[in-house]
Structure 1
Amino acid sequence: MMSPPRGSDADRSRQVSGEASTTPRMKIGNYRWRVCAMLLAATTISYIDRQVLGVLAPFLQEKIGWTELQYSSIVTAFQAAYAVGLLCAGAVIDRFGTRIGYALAIGIWSLAAMSHSLATGVISFAVARFALGLGEAGNFPAAIKAVAEWFPQRERALAAGIFNSGSNIGAIVAPLMVPIVAAQWGWQAAFLCTGVLSAIWLIVWLLTYRTPDQEPRLSPQERAHIGAEPEAPTRRVPWSQLLRFRQTWAFAAAKFITDPIWWFFLFWLPKFLHAKYGLGLLELGAPLITIFLMADAGSIAGGWLAGAFIKHGMNVNRARKTAMLICALMVVPVIFAAKASHLWLAVALVGLATAGHQGWSANVYTLTSDLFPRHAVASVVGMGGFAGAVGGMLISTVIGLLLQATGSYVPVFLLAGGAYLVAWLVVQLLVPRLEPAVLSVDAKET
């Protein structure tokens, strides 16, 4: 099936400005949401894989004898590989397509997850984490590209919020599953189980995923709905060109400033709850599940909120940034978590912050499809993810040094509370109107 003709840059600008469509509503299919469900499943498995270590960290630290700084170095190994992998993953996915690119990524991380069961000390755990980071780096670039392929602009934030909620579902499933598996069959079995889940997903993905123009089960109405926007050329855009745009730097800056806070929540919350409130391995489940259930709700609500603003007449620029500001403000109260006198007060404050982060993240990821044509999305996401992983490496080292020296989480929670407002201001300064980037390839073909 031939692709619809590309529109002019003015057409793209009108879409971003949020002009209402005069096309009457019609019944369309929902196959695209099946694709979104696959992306949700992959993200869930990815976060189960990476969260296993976080849940087991207090237990493994006592069993193997890690110091705070050694634990931070294991976390940093994952983030270093994740940073490098994101730079490569976006380009690989843009070159080979979402189906093959995603398959390569999850194949690597499935083997890496299972290899943790062979680790015996700091170095071997760091090597396994490095391999896991390389594989998991492909998840978000591939998922965002799939959303750009399968969803019109007004639905992308919601789709991104739904699949991004898998990061919270994974963080919920991990404290439910991991302590039980570890208690019954040993900690090695927990890592083996998650690797098997990844392998099963890979088989299903290869058997089912196609682009909309290649999917025979897609109805004509849904195909037209997906293809209503101008389709970008398939030529790959080099990083050197993308780095010339303020839009690229806005996305990268938002990731660099706020991703480290999520890494802190993911890898240090069990240790914080253990150190502050004396929770054992089997007692961590309820607080962690509560926190990440709140995060899950925030992910979906954040994506829905921007879409609701657009439906009520806001242009994309105002709707996206208003939703982001609301999410940023939700994180601020977490500055009081380290001094909370009661466990469940701390849980409520951290849960509100994780909800704010995930709502923020759903909208930040959607900025790429607001600001760039589809063929450049995965590369931009990869570059921004690299920036976020570098920020995560920095904060991991800082946290390790702080905890080794003082044992206090107060400075970390203070940093977390203010990071999102700073990031929002940076985005506003760099892209005050969310104008789409006009790449040289696009200019030649219009």
Structure 2
Amino acid sequence: MTAGVAPSRIRWAILALLFFSTVLNYIDRQTLSILATTVQADLGMSDTDYAGVVQLFLIAYTIAYLGVGWVTDKLGPKLALAGFVAWWSIANMVTGLVNSVGQLGAARFALGLGEAGNYVAAPKTVSERFPAHERGFAVGVYTAGAMVGATIAPPLIGWLALVHGWRAAFFVTGALGFVWIAAWLLVHRKAPKVVVPESEVAEPKWPLRRILSDRAVWGLALARTLTDPVWYFYLFWFPKYLIDARGMTLLGVAATAWLVYVAADIGSIFGGGASGRLVKRGMRAPDARIRMMGVAACLAPIGALIAMQPAIPLTYVLAACVALAHMTFLVNLTTLAVDIFPQRQVGAIFGLIAAGSGVGGKLSDDPGRR
């Protein structure tokens, strides 16, 4: 076993659980967007109210990124991620109890504070448990969990709401997080202690001034700021757009929206795996990640054609292309950060980078401009 790399059986079990934590993360996040029209009618919310609730989630999500990285580096990803999952699971269950717009906003704010932790603890875990040529694939696998969650969410949430009511959908999906926590802690009982690579032991930790002045940190943060808002549309507004603007029913969206997220899964796994194959062929890991990001950036603009309101099948094809491109880009951006920054500080540094995601979401979805 090389330093910092877990035995194969253990690290793939850990990766499987990272995949499932991300599945749950996105199911809990998507529950409100799928039920937006239903919840709005029950609570007497306008579209502006709904946009404000989304904003509260994004504000909390952004704020949390500035702190969850430091927590993850301090506690280690095992304990940190267990705590993050517990927090957001409780917040999602509480959403099923709300009776006003203010209560809904508070619950989603709490959800955002917890959910950000998944996307810092996961790359930190990959940096500790996987060698460079496997990291792109590993990041792709757990990132695909987001799209599996988004794929499962429409039929699951739609069925729960239609059969048991919208409040039950929040209770059931939130409770699943505690099953995951038990499995996560059990697997780590058999995992070896993480060993910091010798090359990093001699290197001093980066002081905050160096982190804040590093061009790569700001460049990757800017990339998240500019690209993640595109994906936020598909997360928070696409199901509602299909219902309100294109005349689809909740049942119709529940039966078909998963197609977009399957395309995103393909981008996650094959986009991450492709850069890993380039590394195995001798290309420098950072260069391989950047090449795949460039390919994805060339494909994504095709989604602008959706504004012309083509037929529903073509709308789905265009959305699927954007989803595939975005997740290829995101997986390789995440892996690039894991490659180039010190393992001991991946959590804190990646948290700052990921905060750019929330900033972009806030700027692009400001209800004050509606």
Match of residue 178, structure 2, among 199, 204, 207: 199
Tell me the residue number matched to 1:59: 38
Tell me the residue number matched to 1:135: 114
What is the correspondence of 1:130-279 to structure 2 with a 5 Å cutoff? Answer: 130-209=109-188, 213-214=192-193, 230-232=199-201, 237-279=206-248
**71-80 vs 332-341, greater mean Cα deviation:** 332-341
Match of residue 78, structure 1, among 57, 61, 64: 57
In the superposition, the TM-score normalised over structure 1's length comes to 0.78
CA contact (8 A) 2:221 2:352 kept: yes
Tell me the residue number matched to 2:47: 68
CA contact (8 A) 1:338 1:346 kept: no
CA contact (8 A) 1:234 1:375 kept: no
Q: Distance in 1 between matches of 2:203 and 2:149?
A: 33
Tell me the residue number matched to 2:328: 359
Tell me the residue number matched to 1:103: 82
CA contact (8 A) 1:49 1:191 kept: yes
Match of residue 334, structure 1, among 303, 307, 318: 303
Deviation at 1:213, TM superposition (A): 3.5
Tell me the residue number matched to 1:9: none
Tell me the residue number matched to 2:279: 310
Matched, 1:324 2:293: yes
Q: Distance in 1 between matches of 2:346 and 2:100?
A: 39
Deviation at 1:231, TM superposition (A): 4.9
Q: Distance in 2 between matches of 1:102 and 1:233?
A: 28
**137-146 vs 384-393, greater mean Cα deviation:** 384-393
Q: Distance in 1 between matches of 2:192 and 2:201?
A: 14
Q: Distance in 2 between matches of 1:387 and 1:376?
A: 18
Q: Distance in 2 between matches of 1:325 and 1:93?
A: 30
Name the SS for the 1:39 alignment partner. helix
Tell me the residue number matched to 1:117: 96
CA contact (8 A) 1:109 1:133 kept: yes
Q: 1:304 corresponds to which letter in structure 2?
A: G
Q: Distance in 1 between matches of 2:64 and 2:204?
A: 22
**Aligned length in residues:** 368
CA contact (8 A) 1:161 1:303 kept: yes
The C-alpha deviation readout for 1:186-216, integer Å capped at 9, x for no partner, is 100000011111111112212222695438x
Q: Distance in 1 between matches of 2:205 and 2:39?
A: 44
Q: Unaligned regions of 5+ residues in structure 1, if any?
A: 6-27, 216-225, 405-446
Matched, 1:370 2:339: yes
Q: Distance in 2 between matches of 1:229 and 1:276?
A: 57
Name the SS for the 1:160 alignment partner. helix
The C-alpha deviation readout for 1:279-309, integer Å capped at 9, x for no partner, is 1111112331101011111111110111122
When residues 236 and 203 of structure 1 are mapped into structure 2, their CA distance, relative to the original with a 3 A threshold, is farther
CA contact (8 A) 1:150 1:212 kept: no
Q: Distance in 2 between matches of 1:147 and 1:234?
A: 20
Matched, 1:126 2:105: yes
Q: Distance in 2 between matches of 1:324 and 1:211?
A: 36
Q: 2:84 corresponds to which letter in structure 1?
A: A
Deviation at 1:341, TM superposition (A): 2.4
Q: Distance in 1 between matches of 2:216 and 2:60?
A: 25
When residues 361 and 133 of structure 1 are mapped into structure 2, their CA distance, relative to the original with a 3 A threshold, is same
Q: Distance in 1 between matches of 2:236 and 2:104?
A: 14
Q: Distance in 2 between matches of 1:78 and 1:145?
A: 23
Q: Distance in 2 between matches of 1:46 and 1:376?
A: 24
Q: Distance in 1 between matches of 2:77 and 2:189?
A: 9
RMSD: 2.2
When residues 345 and 190 of structure 1 are mapped into structure 2, their CA distance, relative to the original with a 3 A threshold, is same
Deviation at 1:327, TM superposition (A): 1.1
Match of residue 283, structure 1, among 240, 248, 252: 252
Tell me the residue number matched to 1:17: none
When residues 37 and 229 of structure 1 are mapped into structure 2, their CA distance, relative to the original with a 3 A threshold, is farther
**Identity in percent:** 35
CA contact (8 A) 2:133 2:277 kept: no
> Which has the larger Rg?
1
When residues 192 and 155 of structure 1 are mapped into structure 2, their CA distance, relative to the original with a 3 A threshold, is same
Tell me the residue number matched to 2:24: 45
Match of residue 317, structure 2, among 337, 348, 352: 348
Deviation at 1:235, TM superposition (A): 7.6
